Structure formats: C-alpha cells, structure tokens
Amino acid sequence: MVLAAATPNNLPQVLGLLARAHRRGHFDATPTRQRLEVLVRDDRTKACVATVEGHTVGFAAVGALGLIGPPSTEATFTDIVTDDPAEERPLVDWALANARQLHLGRTLRTLRGSTRPGPPGFTKAREIWRMDCDLTAVPPIPDRGDVILTDYSATDLPDESWVSAVNDSFTEHWGGYLPWTVQRWNDRMAPSFDSGLQLMARLQQECAGVLLSGVMERPDGGAQPVGFIEVVGTLPAYRRRGIAEFLVRSALQRLASRQVSRAVLLVDGGSSTGAADLYARCGFRQTFSYTVWERGLKG
C-alpha cells in the first residue's frame, strides 16, 4: 500500500470510494464533492489517498473539519475510509501521527454508521441520529401571538446579532462547541443561499431562538433536493417555552413552500435537552445512526 497526499486530481477516485462506503452504511449519504474539496484544501487539514498497484483503496483526512458534523474545540476530526477493513491500520497510524502534529484537540474523533465497526483503538463516545420528515403534509404552525418570527431577508439586525444568537444557544453543547464568527456567517450566507430560511424568534423584541436551514443536494438515494435543518437553538433564558418547536414547524412550512418533499437533520442522540423528542413531535423519525468514536492523542 502506498500513501500519498490527496490532490484535486484524485478526488474522482476518492468520491467513488466514498459512494461505495455509503452503500455499506458508513455514511447516511455520499459526501459531496464540494465538502471533499473544502476538506482537502483547508490549511488546517491533511488528507491522503491509499493505493495498491495504482488502484485507490483508501482515504484518510485529519484536521479541524470532517466529512460529517461541525468543528470542535476539543477534538481533531478524522475520516478513514477503505474498501477492505483489513487495510485500515496504516491509515489509522497515519491519522494519529498527523493529528499529534496539528495540536487541534486532545482527542481524535470520527463518525461512521453504527452498523460499522470502529477504527482500531477507538472507543464509543456518543450517537448522532439522522432524522427525516415528510413534507407532503406539513401540520400548521401553532398560534404564538407572543412570538415575533423574522428571517434574515426581512430584518435589519446586524450579522453580529445572528452570530451571538447561535453561540449563546450552544455554549453548553456536547463535544466542544466551536463558536461561529462573522466571517463564517458571511461565508455561509453566500448569494446562492436562501436567506428566507434563516429564522429568528423574538419575545418582547429580545432574541429567544434561532434556526438555520437550506435547500441542497444530499446524495442518499432519495428525492432531491432536500431541506436540511442545520441549527436549532434556544437561548437559555427562553428554554422549555416552545420556542424551538415553533421555529422548526415554521421552517418546515417554508421548506414545503419551496417544493421540497422532505427535510433532514442530525441530532445528538445522547442530549439531555430532549431535542430528538421535539423533532419527533414535529413529524421527524430516525432513519440512520452514527457512532462517534474517539481516541486520546497523548504521546
């Protein structure tokens, strides 16, 4: 086996490898070329391709970003994908060596479908669930006369207010929440993004919660495009008051109006906030489970 740095030239072979991994249950959907390009080009990430007699048989990346999930202050992310699990060990050793050089977190973390075994030397830490909602018959939004709903396209609030709302909602989030910056917000709100799907709920003019969503391709074998709900957060002072459910139901209505037939989200299966139960009340059902695997980076 030969390990060499991943480059834009060998991304087609890597995408084929990831598609095969999706079919085996490693991912809930094949990671997109765009996500892979971001990973390979990020200066905080290293990526390599494994070949045997010129054939691509494995891929590994290690750094601040992963193919699945948000960045973290506690962990360095790795993705290790092979056609044959017996060929995984050299890529695990490569990932450990490079993670220790990057100094991005005290643990090495990876996500893979819960039906798949973890990498050698890793232990289970958490479960992340994918949940889907059928948008062909969306229930009405509950009447909340006390809540003002606004979206990014119809507000004069500065970007800093949106960023603060997201960060204040997730300070206690498991896994080492990495706060958003205005730059990250601006990158996300590129001209092609639908600003009408970024929602804020306010009570007496004060921000109570925020939801970020979009319409995108998610290669999972189902109808495309899908509505992807990326962030649902309630500020601590307004929790247990139905704000998150109001935001989710409002987002589902807006996604349905854009001729999207289904919505998808990822949720921490071990969260004590009751988020999964909230989504179930809104019509979501669990369709896939990721196991979060971790390994310490001491030494």
| Domain of 104, in residue numbers | 2-121
Per cent of the chain over pLDDT 90 is 74
CB 166 within 8 A of CB 207: no
Residue 254 has pLDDT above 90, yes or no: yes
Among residues 117, 115, 254, the alpha carbon closest in space to that of 198 is found at 254
- Distance from C-alpha of 258 to C-alpha of 255, rounded to nearest angstrom: 5
Same domain, 233 and 254: yes
Write down the pTM of the prediction. Answer: 0.92
Same domain, 170 and 271: yes
Same domain, 91 and 202: no
Same domain, 24 and 56: yes
The domain that contains 96 carries what CATH number? 3.40.630.30
Residue 41 has pLDDT above 90, yes or no: no
Q: Which of 88, 121, 154 is where one domain is finished?
A: 121
Same domain, 14 and 142: no
- Distance from C-alpha of 289 to C-alpha of 282, rounded to nearest angstrom: 19
Residue 265 has pLDDT above 60, yes or no: yes
* Confidence at 130, pLDDT banded by 50, 70, 90: very high
Sign of CA dihedral 264, 268, 269, 272: negative
Contacts of residue 240, Cβ cutoff 8 Å, sequence gap at least 6: none
Q: So what's the pLDDT on residue 92?
A: 96
pLDDT tens string 70-114: 888 889 999 999 999 888 999 999 999 999 998 888 899 999 999
Same domain, 6 and 108: yes
Q: So what's the pLDDT on residue 299?
A: 56
The DSSP bridge pattern shows strands 75-82 and 262-268 to be: unpaired
Same domain, 105 and 138: no
Among residues 192, 228, 233, 194, the alpha carbon closest in space to that of 211 is found at 233
Residue 297 lies in a domain: no
Among residues 229, 288, 268, 285, the alpha carbon closest in space to that of 29 is found at 288
Q: So what's the pLDDT on residue 60?
A: 97
Token code pair at residue 248: 């989710």
Same domain, 100 and 140: no
Q: Which of 121, 148, 167 is where one domain is finished?
A: 121
- Distance from C-alpha of 152 to C-alpha of 164, rounded to nearest angstrom: 14
- Distance from C-alpha of 282 to C-alpha of 278, rounded to nearest angstrom: 7
Work out how many domains the chain is built from and give that number. 2
Same domain, 180 and 104: no
Residue 133, classified by CB atoms within 10 Å of its CB into exposed (0-12), middle (13-18) or buried (19+), is buried
